[in-house]
Amino acid sequence: MKSYKPTGMMISIKGTSIVKVLIGFALFLFMIFSISGVITSLNPKYRITSSSVNQASTNISGEMLYQLLGWENHHFLHVIPKSDEKASPPLTNFIFKLSTNVNLDDPRSLLGRELPGFSLFDGKILVAGDGTNYTNMPIESAPPAEVLKAEQEASLQNTEGISEQGDREKSSDPKPLTTGDRKVVYIYFSHTRESFLPYLKGVTDPNLAHHSKMNVTKIGDKLKESLETKGIGTTVDKTDIMTTLGQKGLSYGSSYQESRAVVQTAMSNDRNLNYFIDIHRDARRKKDTTMSINGQSYAKLAFVIGAEHKNYEKNLKFATDLHNHLQEKYPGLSRGIIQKQGASTNGKFNQDLSSNAILIEFGGVDNTFEELDRSAEALADVFSEMYWQAAEVSGTTSN
């Protein structure tokens, strides 16, 4: 009788190999969660983001979202008005924009990434003033680094008659309405040294219109004076943000980051502050920034609103009220309201700190302080009317 030996395959598994695989897998998971934790804990400005996805997602309306969910669960359709139930969400345009970053309703999106500097026109005109369009929107150009050094700045000219801070005579007439000792308006300057060509000897390039002494801070002085003649307590902060940038080795683009700390300190030190105005100067030329009212020349005003924060709509209402009042009393003085958001701009301008925060472009590089002062007086005129009307409604007026 023959004997048969069993045949088969023997598999040998070493315990050390299993341990290595498990350890490797555990390390992989640890790395994934660690990297995710680091990314989510970063300051938002350092995070990896997609402006295309962000802008597309902000256009998802409540109706579109409920309709999309309603395809799976029809109960979501009950919240949509009957007239909209059969309307299909504009998915074609939405998906096309998300995938190509091209908005079929805005030809600028097709050219924006191809033409250098075209991102300057990424702003959106929310309220157009007289003559305002996408060809003459406010522009902001960063000066060369050497221009910001005080020892290399231009000599001054045409400064006769321009008073220094505190030199202007203050009216001693009693005011029918006053905030008393309370300072309720805070004026500051993220771009402190923005200046004007008529006062810079030998300078003709708008990008070089910067000076450590003859600059937009003088507009703040005039606006403060004009507001206080209307009984509205005002503070002007002239912290030189450009000096701070130089000390910290930061670029011009970090200006709002540094002015933000200044504003936050002021807010914590004085709870009465309720209105925050960041004064700038446009880089546009005189034809776009100047107008005549009753035979006198004024520097036009433009309101800039950042849309990347929760106070956006409240800030927009504040700016719109100012624009409308200016249109009534000083027709044409306001160039309108410009919205800024996206990767090419700040998107907040510190306006997320208060619902009554705005950025105002006073005139342009060719304007004189005579023109700028008239505009400051006009702004103080309409602002004071708005302020005291609101105070009367809330019962907070004082004599």
Give a three-class secondary structure readout of the chain: CCCCCCCCCCCCCCHHHHHHHHHHHHHHHHHHHHHHHHHHHCCHHHCCCCHHHHHHHCCCCHHHHHHHHHCCCHHHHHHCCHHHCCCCCCHHHHHHHHHHCCCCCCCHHHHCCCCCCHHHHCCEEEEECCCCCCCCCCCCCCCCHHHHCHHHCCCECCCCCCCCCCCCCCCCCCCCCCCCCCCCEEEECCCCCECCHHHECCCCCHHHCECCCCCCHHHHHHHHHHHHHCCCCEEECCCCHHHHHHHHCCCHHHHHHHHHHHHHHHHHHCCCCCEEEEEECCCCCHHHHEEEECCEEEECEEEEEECCCCCHHHHHHHHHHHHHHHHHHCCCCEEEEEEECCCCCCCCCCHHHCCCEEEEEECCCCCCHHHHHHHHHHHHHHHHHHHHHHHHHHCCCCC
Question: What average pLDDT does this structure show over 129-157?
Answer: 74
Residue 3 located in a structural domain: no
Residue 136 located in a structural domain: no
Looking at the structure, tell me whether residues 156 and 219 fall in a common domain: yes
1 pLDDT tier (thresholds 50, 70, 90):
low
2 pLDDT higher than 60: no
Looking at the structure, tell me whether residues 259 and 335 fall in a common domain: yes
Looking at the structure, tell me whether residues 311 and 209 fall in a common domain: yes
Question: What average pLDDT does this structure show over 4-31?
Answer: 72
Q: Tell me, what amino acid is at 13?
A: I
59-62 contacts at long range (C-beta below 8 A, 24 or more positions apart): 59/94, 59/97, 60/94
Question: What average pLDDT does this structure show over 217-234?
Answer: 95
150 pLDDT higher than 80: no
Residue 128 located in a structural domain: no
Helix axes 312-329, 369-394, angle to 10 degrees: 110
Question: What average pLDDT does this structure show over 33-38?
Answer: 78
26 pLDDT higher than 60: yes
Looking at the structure, tell me whether residues 101 and 238 fall in a common domain: no
CB atoms near residue 343 (< 10 Å): 13
CA-based nearest residue to 168, from 118, 225, 128:
225
Calpha distance 398→392 (Å, rounded): 9
Average pLDDT, whole number, for the chain? 80
* Residue 217 region by backbone torsions, left for phi larger than 0, else alpha for psi between -120 and 50, else beta: alpha
* 325-366: pLDDT as tens digits: 999 999 999 999 999 876 666 778 999 999 999 999 999 999
CB atoms near residue 334 (< 10 Å): 28
Looking at the structure, tell me whether residues 250 and 381 fall in a common domain: yes
Q: What's the confidence (pLDDT) of residue 159?
A: 76
Looking at the structure, tell me whether residues 101 and 159 fall in a common domain: no
Q: What's the confidence (pLDDT) of residue 323?
A: 96
Looking at the structure, tell me whether residues 235 and 169 fall in a common domain: yes
CB atoms near residue 251 (< 10 Å): 9
Residue 227 located in a structural domain: yes
Q: Tell me, what amino acid is at 43?
A: N
Looking at the structure, tell me whether residues 235 and 364 fall in a common domain: yes
Q: What's the confidence (pLDDT) of residue 18?
A: 77
258 pLDDT tier (thresholds 50, 70, 90):
very high
Q: 344: domain CATH number?
A: 3.40.630
Q: Tell me, what amino acid is at 250?
A: L
Looking at the structure, tell me whether residues 98 and 149 fall in a common domain: no
Looking at the structure, tell me whether residues 168 and 233 fall in a common domain: yes
Residue 13 located in a structural domain: no
166 pLDDT tier (thresholds 50, 70, 90):
very low
CA-based nearest residue to 339, from 137, 118, 124:
124
Looking at the structure, tell me whether residues 78 and 152 fall in a common domain: no
Residue 101 located in a structural domain: yes
Question: What average pLDDT does this structure show over 119-144?
Answer: 76
Helix axes 217-229, 369-394, angle to 10 degrees: 40
Q: Which residue has the higher pLDDT, 145 or 18?
A: 18
The answer to whether 274 and 95 are in contact (CB under 8 A) is no
Looking at the structure, tell me whether residues 95 and 153 fall in a common domain: no
Least confident of 95-104, 262-271, 362-371: 95-104
The C-alpha angle 74, 77, 78, rounded to 5 degrees, equals: 105
Q: What's the confidence (pLDDT) of residue 85?
A: 46
381 pLDDT higher than 70: yes
Q: For residue 313, give both structure tokens.
A: 């709509």
Q: What's the confidence (pLDDT) of residue 379?
A: 97
Residue 138 located in a structural domain: no
151 pLDDT tier (thresholds 50, 70, 90):
low
Q: What's the confidence (pLDDT) of residue 90?
A: 58
25 pLDDT tier (thresholds 50, 70, 90):
confident
* 44-96: pLDDT as tens digits: 555 555 555 555 555 566 666 666 677 667 666 666 665 544 445 455 666 66
Q: What's the confidence (pLDDT) of residue 140?
A: 76
- Percent of the chain at pLDDT exceeding 90: 41
Q: Which residue has the higher pLDDT, 175 or 28?
A: 28
CA-based nearest residue to 183, from 264, 276, 69:
276
Question: What average pLDDT does this structure show over 180-197?
Answer: 94
* Tally of domains in the chain: 2
Q: What's the confidence (pLDDT) of residue 37?
A: 74
Q: What's the confidence (pLDDT) of residue 98?
A: 60
Residue 315 located in a structural domain: yes
Q: For residue 82, give both structure tokens.
A: 């009957």
Question: What average pLDDT does this structure show over 198-206?
Answer: 90
Which domain covers residue 60, as residue numbers? 53-105
